[in-house]
A and B are shown apart, each in its own frame.
Chain A
Amino acid sequence: QSVVTQPPSASGTPGQRVTISCSGSSSNIGRNTVNWYQQLPGTAPKLLIYSNNQRPSGVPDRFSGSKSGTSASLAISGLQSEDETDYYCAAWDDSLKGWVFGGGTKLTVL
């Protein structure tokens, strides 16, 4: 069981806006910033959002993040077929003294 919880799946149609949730606790998301990763099959996770809502250089502004309390969300607007893959949230956990990851959400573009 992951310390941080994500829905196992999400879906949307091209052009639509979808959100993926991430629920944690006071020792991780409640105290620290949240990062989001995109993982294409057979590749390493790629940083998509850091510090709750910051995009690294090169990440399209279709991707955005937010955090409130012990939960966070990733929003993808103008959904494209290439967005169909797995997404993970992560945060540092002060009690475990390590990174904790969500179980991942598989996004399907219908």
Chain B
Amino acid sequence: QVQLRQSGPGLVKPSQTLSLTCAISGDSVSSNSAAWHWIRQSPSRGLEWLGRTYYRSKWYRDYAVSVKSRITINPDTSKNQFSLQVNSVTPEDTAVFYCARVSSSGALDVWGQGTTVTVSS
């Protein structure tokens, strides 16, 4: 059974960098048939896709236009996990962040437990 376990701070100061990690069990971040995504949810924005990384003979990364200039998603094959970094955060980045997998179903079928991140001084 595939599980995603998120970790990272729940409070980040404005202008600083938000960093979260998603540890994978039961699958591989290097899988040729999966992709690894980050999504956030807030009352004002609803569910918002942030980006993904996946391996198909080489690593690919795609980011949402709304955050493309501030976001980085990286795989870590040594720990079988992937990470999210959002730079220069503002209070508008306050949200519940989720990692998730897309597999052969073509859907976001496995989700992490969610991490509430508050941007505040």
Question: Interface residues of B: mostly helix, strand, loop or mixed?
Answer: strand
Taking CB atoms and an 8 Å cut-off, the chain B residues in 27-82 that contact chain A are 37, 39, 46-49, 51, 62, 64-65
**Distance of A33 Cα from B64 Cα, bound (Å):** 20
**Distance of A99 Cα from B51 Cα, bound (Å):** 9
Most buried by A among B98, B108, B109: B108
The number of residue pairs between A and B whose CB atoms lie closer than 8 Å in the complex comes to 57
Chain B: interface residue count, which band?
A: 20 to 34
Count, chain A residues at interface, CB 8 A: 23
| Binary flags per residue of A13-41, CB closer than 8 Å to B gives 1, else 0 | 00000000000000000000101010000
**Distance of A103 Cα from B112 Cα, bound (Å):** 20
**Distance of A46 Cα from B108 Cα, bound (Å):** 9
